[in-house]
Amino acid sequence: MLALVSPALLVILALIVLPVGWLAWQSIYHDGFTLENYRRVFTEDIYWRSFALTFEISLAVTVVALLLGYPVAYLANSVPKGWSILILSLVVLPFWTSVLVRAYAWLALLQRTGVINQFLRYLDVISEPLALVHNTFGTVVATVHILLPFMVLPLYATMQKIPGDLMQAGASLGASPSLTFVRVFLPLSLPGVLAGCTMVFVLCLGFYITPELLGGGRTVMVSMLVSRNVELYNQFGAASAVAVVLLLSVLLIFFAVSRFISLDRILGQK
């Protein structure tokens, strides 16, 4: 048995355990053992503001993705199989394009001379271009577009397991479609909601390219803090400490969510 799993264990050791271990070591060792990097993370305002902004943006992206993704998943689950395949194909279609290209596309659309501002000015809705990029708004819009499939797919997988007979049974008992949805379908779909929200929130915590381009240097998320500590200040220890704190935050979130839903279900293995 050990011989069979040894190649997999070596891969895990080389690609996960050693890099994370080296990251943790760099955060506490610089010419000797030190906790200075962690002291800075937990006491300096710039780190607190960056972590707070990252969690705020992640929460906003998760809420918007849920509001947009739930109706899409519900529609895909309700229509015949051919239409369902078409809807899901459109949902996963952006995966065929890199995140960088999609971020630049949103930058072109939302900038002051972009299509949206030009269209609104053509309709005389606005007199001056709106500030749609280089701020939190542009970051949230582009991030929602990129992470939306991670909300739709878990929702659709959960909805597929809900027996359609339950809706018919509710209707036969005199309940309206909306009441049957609220009292029957929505509670049964909550595991998918929790799985989708967890995936989107955790992925958003580590986003880098989109906030870098759409934030215009004003929306400094944690991943950008790591990058700047390395590229601008050459402080690998500080960058490692930030990365370790972010990693522990993600593990804590997974642990909290696992109290309500199994990790296998969040990761799509069931």
Encoded tokens for 165: 């007979």
Question: What are the two backbone dihedrals, phi and then psi, of residue 33, each rounded to the nearest 5 degrees?
Answer: -70, 135
Encoded tokens for 270: 């069931």
What is the reported pLDDT for 240?
A: 92
pTM: 0.87
The superfamily CATH assigns to domain 49-219 is: MetI-like (1.10.3720.10)
Of 200, 240, 223, 250, whose CA–CA distance to 35 is shortest?
A: 240
Q: Indicate the SS3 state at residue 29.
A: strand
Longest dimension (CA), the chain: 74
Beta-carbon contacts of 194 under 8 Å, excluding residues fewer than 6 positions away, are: 257, 260, 261, 266
Encoded tokens for 228: 């700047």
Question: What are the two backbone dihedrals, phi and then psi, of residue 29, each rounded to the nearest 5 degrees?
Answer: -130, 120
Using CA atoms, how far apart are residues 16 and 130, in angstroms rounded to an integer? 44
| First-residue to last-residue Cα distance in the chain | 25
Rounded to a whole number of angstroms, the CA Rg of the chain reads 22
Using CA atoms, how far apart are residues 180 and 170, in angstroms rounded to an integer? 6
Please count the residues of the chain. Answer: 270
Using CA atoms, how far apart are residues 42 and 39, in angstroms rounded to an integer? 5
What is the reported pLDDT for 112?
A: 87
* Residue spans of alpha helices (H) in the chain: 2-12, 18-28, 36-43, 45-78, 81-92, 99-110, 115-122, 136-160, 165-172, 177-180, 186-188, 190-205, 209-214, 222-231, 236-258, 263-266
Q: Mind listing the pLDDT tens digit of every residue in the chain (270 residues)?
A: 767 778 888 888 888 889 889 988 988 988 888 888 899 888 889 899 999 999 999 999 999 999 999 999 999 999 998 999 999 999 988 888 888 888 889 988 988 888 898 988 888 888 888 888 888 999 999 999 999 999 999 999 999 988 878 877 877 887 888 888 888 889 999 989 998 999 999 999 988 888 888 887 777 888 888 888 888 888 888 899 999 999 999 899 888 888 877 766 666 555
